[in-house]
Amino acid sequence: MVLTVRIGPTAALSDVELDALRALFGAAWPDGRFTRLDFEHALGGVHFLVEDGGEIRSHASVVERELDADGRRLRTGYVEAVATWPAHERRGHASAAMRAAAEHIRAHFELGALSTGSAPFYVRLGWLSL
Ligand SMILES: CC(C)(COP(=O)(O)OP(=O)(O)OC[C@H]1O[C@@H](n2cnc3c(N)ncnc32)[C@H](O)[C@@H]1OP(=O)(O)O)[C@@H](O)C(=O)NCCC(=O)NCCS
């Protein structure tokens, strides 16, 4: 198994890759829980694609947002659409995507943020749950 984390902007993704991501999100959040709007929110920044033999196994993206913290506007790398194909979970794929995303955030933003119902997954990677 040769895993790679491919990093690139939305503009670098082909239509086939965007379709592959739609399929991944549909599988990770069944019953249509990942909406078209959620998909749009995941675009426009940088994608972290964990691939095995050219197949996308896991994804995270970081988009630029501005968060207001006590009156101060912080340029924020906001994490969206962290997902792994169900058949490939628990092999470290999403953790690899998140480590690359965190490195990108540290290099380019004042703050990293995300919203999740799975806080423990991120806490074990060093994120703070507030
Ligand atoms: C959460 C998710 C991205 C994890 O992907 P993954 O590739 O299996 O993650 P990794 O293999 O890198 O890490 C798995 C570890 O995270 C932990 N973990 C996974 N999901 C978790 C959750 N919901 N809450 C807490 N911990 C979780 C597991 O305990 C596992 O640790 P272990 O192997 O030591 O037991 C994947 O399960 C998924 O796509 N879920 C559906 C979509 C989702 O909930 N996305 C993230 C929330 S916004």
Q: Do the beta carbons of residue 56 and residue 62 sit within 8 Å? A: no
Residue nearest to atom 38 of ligand 1 (CA): 83
Contacts of 28 (CB under 8 A, 6+ apart): 34, 83, 84, 85, 86
Query: Is residue 12 in some structural domain?
Result: yes
Give the per-residue pLDDT at 2: 79
The per-residue pLDDT for range 7-44, each reduced to its tens digit, is 999 999 999 999 999 999 999 999 999 999 999 999 99
The per-residue pLDDT for range 58-91, each reduced to its tens digit, is 999 999 999 999 999 999 999 999 999 999 999 9
Q: Which residue has the tokens 């119902």?
A: 117
CATH code of 15's domain: 3.40.630.30
Query: Is residue 50 in some structural domain?
Result: yes
Pocket probe mutation, ligand 1, options 56, 118, 123, max atoms within 8 Å of Cβ = 118
C-alpha 114/C-alpha 30 separation (Å) is: 21
What is the pairing mode between strands 46-52 and 55-69?
Answer: antiparallel
Q: Do the beta carbons of residue 127 and residue 111 sit within 8 Å? A: no
Give the per-residue pLDDT at 39: 98
Q: Do the beta carbons of residue 57 and residue 85 sit within 8 Å? A: yes
How many domains are there within the chain?
A: 1
Q: Which atom of ligand 1 is nearest to the CA of 120?
A: 25
Query: Is residue 128 in some structural domain?
Result: no
Query: Is residue 129 in some structural domain?
Result: no
Q: Domain range spanning residue 24? A: 3-123
Query: Is residue 104 in some structural domain?
Result: yes
Q: Which residue has the tokens 């929110």?
A: 41
Q: Coil, strand or helix: which one is 32? A: coil
Give the per-residue pLDDT at 6: 98
Query: Is residue 38 in some structural domain?
Result: yes
Region at 92 (left for phi over 0; alpha for psi -120 to 50; beta for the rest): left
Within 6 A (CB) of ligand 1 lie 28-29, 58, 82-84, 89-95, 116, 118, 120-121
Give the per-residue pLDDT at 3: 86
Q: Residue 13 phi/psi, 5° resolution? A: -85, 135
